[in-house]
Every structure is written in C-alpha cells, then in structure tokens.
A and B are shown apart, each in its own frame.
Chain A
C-alpha cells in the first residue's frame, strides 16, 4: 500500500510534473502578459504603441511619456492625494473596527451585546448602491464634496472589520491577561491600546491590506465626490487623462504603471498578509 501511495506522489512523476509545470507556466504567462504590455507601452513612443503588427519588445527606451506625465499632469499631487487618503481611511477603519471588535469580544456580559452584534452583522448585507445617493446628498449638504473627508470617512464604519477583529481578539487575547493588567491599574482604554492592539498586529495587517486595496483602486466614489484636479486620486486622474477625441496613451500607460507599482511592490513584500486579507474579505458573508 505504502508503495502505491509513493508511486502516486512522485512515481508517475516526469510526465505528470511536465504537465503541471507546463500548465502553470502557461497560465502565469497569460496572467502576466498584460503587465508586460503595460510596462512596454509606458516606454514606447506613441507611434510604437499603435504599431501594427504589435511590437513585442522595445526598439528604444523612451522616457518621454514619463516626462510628459510629470510636466503636463498633476501626477505627484494625485499620488500624494491617493497616499494621504488611503493612509487616513485605513487608520480610521482599523481604529473603529478594532475598538468595537475588542469591546464585543471582552465584555461578554454587557446588556444588549448579542443584539447589537447581530445588528452589526446585518448591516453587512446592505449593498453600497442603495446608500450611494443619500451619502452623496449628505456630503453636499455638509459642503464636503471635493474634500479629503469625503474620501476618508464614508465606508470607515466597516461591519466586516468589527466581525474580523472580534474574532481575532477571541483567538489571540486571553481574558486572564487583561484581568492581570486591570489589577495592575491599567485603564480600560489602556487595555485595548497597550495590551490588545500590539497582539492584534497580524489581524490588523490583513484587514488593513484589504481596506487599502479597495481604497487605493477606488474609481467610482472618487469620480462622484472629487471635482478639481488638485483633489484627484490616481485612478481618477488616469481615467480623466482619456480625451474626448484623442487619448495620450503614452502618458496614460506611464501614469498607470506608476500607480500600479506601489501595491505590487507591497504585495511582493507582504504576500502572506495580502492573501490572508483577501481570503478574510471573502468569508464576509
């Protein structure tokens, strides 16, 4: 029996390995090709981008597209806006989620806890499209259209975040630990801030990444609430580079490459947390 299993694991090997690696290699190639094309186009001249037949390698390295992006658009301003908004939105979301999630986990006897938590879970089922117009109307009334606040605050009350953090607190923080600190005179907020938060770092990272991806790539909300080019985020700025008649594709590709790189680099560095974050986001419902 041991034999049969052995053969199944590596016995048929050669042919089977060839098929598996071949298929994976081919799929990886297909998936990565558009990125190759993005990089290539960013360094191509305008004529080369639309050359027929397509040019699969660089004839010459053109940095003109990047120069144009830096000179003719407010790229750095948009870059700053994107970073600023993403960082603040993430921080706010993580703070609200972890504080509430912590409370739901460590005060099991608080009256009404079950019902309040069920309510939080129920809010996850509300699709965003239903609240889009009222939220926009509220922001208009408060004169918050075209401000950072309009990009940072909506969506920060994240029910999934609370669910996720509550679970992490239950898994990683023993009540005895908190009791011990309480006896030493630590305040209730101090327990959360100094004892719980450091232990929750991995959970915070996973949730933070999930939130960050959504915020960094968000186009629709930016399109609705941002009005002037000094407020544009990268996705919006790139989208609006497209002209009615003619689109400067070289610039578009150069800006696109620069907007894609930060997350891709971060992903390559923190792969495990990224995949945890995404997998976590998927168990939402």
Chain B
C-alpha cells in the first residue's frame, strides 16, 4: 500500500496534467450522461417539478408518428445524397491524384471551401438559388424546357433539394479522405498490373476499388450518422418543412427539447437513437473486419 502510494506520488504530475480534462468531463460529460439517462424515465419541462413516468416515454416512442416520419426522412435523405456524394468524392480524388495534374492546389481549395463556410450562409444562399421564380435552378431547368420545380415549398421536393445542398457541402470533405486513401495504395500494385497488361478499367476494378472499400465504408457510415444528427442544414433551410417532409431525427430532437421543452421524452429519444446508431456501427465494422480476414 505504502509503495503504491509512493508511486502515485512520484507520478503526481501525470495526474495533475490530466485532471483538468477529467474534471471538466465529469461535470459536462459524465454527469450529463447519467442525468439524461435518468431523465428518460421522467417527464420534465426544465422548470417545474419532474415526474417519474417509468417506461412511459419508451412506450410513447412506438406511437410517435413524427418520430417515425423523422426516421423515414433521415433514411431517405441519407440514401439520396450519400451515394452521389461518395461517387463524386471518389472521382474528384482520382482526378486530383493524377500525376501530371497542374493547379492541384487550386482545384483542391475550390472543392474544399464549402466545408469551412458557415452552414447558415450556405443554407441562405441555396434558399435564393432554389427560389421558384428567380432561382438559378429553375432558370437552368427552363433553358432545357423543363417546368420550374417547387423546391422548398413542396413535400416531395424538399428532400431532393436538401440532398443537392448536402452533396455540394460535403463532397470536398470526403474527397480529402479518399485522396489520403488513394495515396496510401502502394504503387507496386499498379506497376505489377501494368506488367500484366491490365488496362485502366481493370486496374480500377481489381486494385483501386477493392483497396478503397474500407474508406468508402467509413465515409458512408460517418455520413449516414451525420444525417441522423444533422441540424443546421435543415433548421435554416426548411425548418423540417413543408409539413414534416424534411424533418430528421436531429431537428426533431431539437424541437422536442427546446421548442416543446419535453426534456424527459427528448432524453428517451436521444438515448434510444444513440443506442441503435452505436449498435449498427459496431455491427457494420465487425462485419467488415471479419470479411476482410
């Protein structure tokens, strides 16, 4: 015991240096985590007395039509924008990875700028671009003789409109990751393939794509999780509307929390969603790993 205490004292600087993080995390991370777990069994508006409701909040999840709609929208939105975004990011990364390319820095900067732009600004500018009468989108469609599309005011079009914005916003980000992936592929593979006389398509099919699979999977899963918790994009652009046609989980959670002030029920949703997202992620990465072996 004495020896142990001595060694703790010898390493006091270690504990001293990590303590600010742990203290702050205890207050603003761990305690909130427990607190919101407890809250998920209660009804509370943040001001008056909280009431225990047992498992009621969890039972209510099943009858919550808005939640079901938000879940559905999240899935639809995710599958609308993630595939084109990943394909676009991959093509861009391949183009930028071309050995003889000049002006690489310019192109990389150009596709990357959306990532550092405030989301509020992006959403507001796209709001103008989507305008029914004066927006560019409908103007360009008009040039091809296509009738104007009610982008943000029609329940069927709000999700595609958001998907276009999301592709624009996040392709550059994923491109950076894909570029890093491409650059980590050993040149020897390609040289060997060239010796065998493989054409560019064969090299893509048999070398690049299989080796890039983990990167695709990673980007895809991260983007889908991002869609679940996404907030700014939808909040500014459509506020979840028209109707609830673009309401996702993130925005619904915000509404239940800070518009309706149903802190208990919001905690229930947050915990449940986080749980399923966690399980799904774990499952997919496990699956990937076992398949890789």
- What's the minimum C-beta distance from A49 to chain B, rounded to whole angstroms? 7
Contact at A31–B172, with CB atoms within 8 Å?
A: yes
Is B117 in the interface zone, CB < 8 Å from A?
A: yes
Report chain A residues within 8 Å CB of B11: 107, 109-111
Question: How far apart are B29's CB and chain A's nearest CB, in angstroms?
Answer: 6
Instruction: Determine how close the nearest CB of chain A comes to the CB of B12; give it in whole angstroms.
Output: 9
* Interchain residue pairs A-B with the least CB separation, the first 9: A134-B32, A103-B17, A131-B32, A110-B11, A157-B24, A110-B14, A134-B35, A107-B14, A28-B110
B81 at the binding interface (Cβ < 8 Å): no
Segment with Cβ contacts to B, from A57-65, A72-80, A199-207, A248-256: A248-256
A residues in contact with B136, CB < 8 Å:
33, 37, 54
- Do residues B107 and A28 form an inter-chain contact, with CB atoms below 8 A? yes
Q: Which of B20, B120, B176, B191 contacts A219 (CB 8 A)?
A: B120
Q: Tell which of B28, B116, B121, B270 touches A153, judged by Cβ atoms closer than 8 Å.
A: B28
Which residue of A is nearest B46, CB measured?
A137
Q: For chain B residues 254-293, which have a beta carbon within 8 Å of chain A? A: 254, 257-258, 263, 266-267, 270-271, 273-274, 277-278
B133 to A219, Cβ gap below 8 A? no
Contact residue among A32, A49, A271 (Cβ-Cβ distance under 8 Å from B105): A271
User: Would you call A256 and B194 a contact (CB within 8 A)?
Assistant: no
CA–CA, A274 and B124, complex, Å: 25
Q: Is A8 an interface residue (CB 8 A)?
A: yes
**Contact of A235 with B120 in the complex, beta carbons under 8 Å:** yes
Interface contact A5-B39, CB-CB below 8 Å = no
- Contact of A256 (CB < 8 Å), options: B18, B33, B125: B125
Q: Are B177's CB and A279's CB within 8 A?
A: yes
Q: Does A180 contact B (CB under 8 A)?
A: no
- Beyond the given A127-B274, A133-B36, please list 17 additional residue pairs across the A-B interface where CB-CB is below 8 A: A24-B107, A32-B110, A34-B168, A35-B117, A41-B128, A96-B21, A104-B18, A129-B270, A130-B270, A131-B28, A132-B257, A157-B24, A238-B121, A256-B124, A267-B109, A275-B176, A279-B176
B222 contacts A by Cβ under 8 Å: yes
Nearest A residue (CB) for B264:
A133
A-B contact pairs, 24 of them (CB 8 A): A4-B194, A32-B110, A34-B129, A38-B125, A51-B134, A96-B20, A97-B21, A99-B21, A111-B4, A116-B18, A120-B21, A123-B29, A131-B33, A133-B257, A135-B32, A157-B24, A162-B21, A188-B13, A217-B116, A253-B125, A259-B118, A271-B109, A274-B116, A278-B176
| A217, closest chain B residue (CB) | B118
Q: List the B side residues contacting A224 at CB < 8 Å.
A: 258
B231 touching A54, Cβ below 8 Å: no
Contacts A5-B194, A256-B120 given; indicate if A130 touches B33 (C-beta within 8 A): yes
Also in contact, A263 and B117, with CB within 8 A (given A127-B229, A256-B125) = yes
Residues from chain B with Cβ under 8 Å of A217 in the complex:
116-120, 232
Q: Check: B220 CB closer than 8 A to any chain A CB.
A: no
Answer whether residue A177 sits at the interface, using C-beta atoms and an 8 A cutoff: no
Chain B hits for A137, CB < 8 A: 35, 46, 263
B118, B257, B263 pick with most chain A CB within 10 angstroms = B118
CA distance A51 to B236 in the complex (A): 23
Q: State the CA gap A249–B135 with chains docked (Å).
A: 14
Asked whether any CB of chain B lies closer than 8 Å to the CB of A181, the reply is no
B18 touches A100 (CB 8 A): yes
A282 and B177 in contact, given A35-B113, A50-B134, A134-B31 (Cβ under 8 angstroms):
yes
Which B residues touch A268, using CB under 8 A? 109
Please count the residue pairs between chain A and chain B whose beta carbons lie under 8 angstroms apart in the complex: 258
- A157, B28: Cβ atoms closer than 8 Å: yes
CB-CB under 8 A for A129 and B274, given A31-B110, A256-B120: yes
- B109:A9 contact, CB within 8 angstroms: no
From B285, which residue of chain A is reached at the shortest CB distance? Answer: A285
**Contact in complex: B25, A157 (CB < 8 Å):** yes
- Measured between beta carbons, the chain A residues less than 8 angstroms from B258 are 223-224
* Most chain A beta-carbon contacts within 10 A, residue among B32, B114, B133, B250: B32
CA distance A278 to B24 in the complex (A): 25
- Chain A residues with CB under 8 A of B131: 50
Chain A nearest Cβ from B165, distance in angstroms: 9
Counting chain A CB atoms within 10 Å of each CB, the highest count among B11, B106, B121, B266 belongs to B121
Q: Is B1 an interface residue (CB 8 A)?
A: no
Closest to A48 in B: B134
**Do the beta carbons of A130 and B271 come within 8 Å of each other?**
yes
How far is A279 from B194 in the complex, measured between Cα atoms in Å? 31
- Nearest to B253 among chain A residues (CB) is A129
| B residues 125-150 touching A (CB-CB < 8 Å) | 125-126, 128-129, 131, 133-136, 139
Give Cα distance in the complex from A30 to B173, angstroms: 16
Distance to closest chain A CB from B178 (angstroms): 11
B7 at interface by CB-CB < 8 Å: yes
A136 to chain B, nearest CB (A): 8
A239–B120 CB distance below 8 A: yes
Q: Taking each of A1, A126, A130, A238, which has the highest tally of chain B beta carbons within 10 Å of its own beta carbon?
A: A130
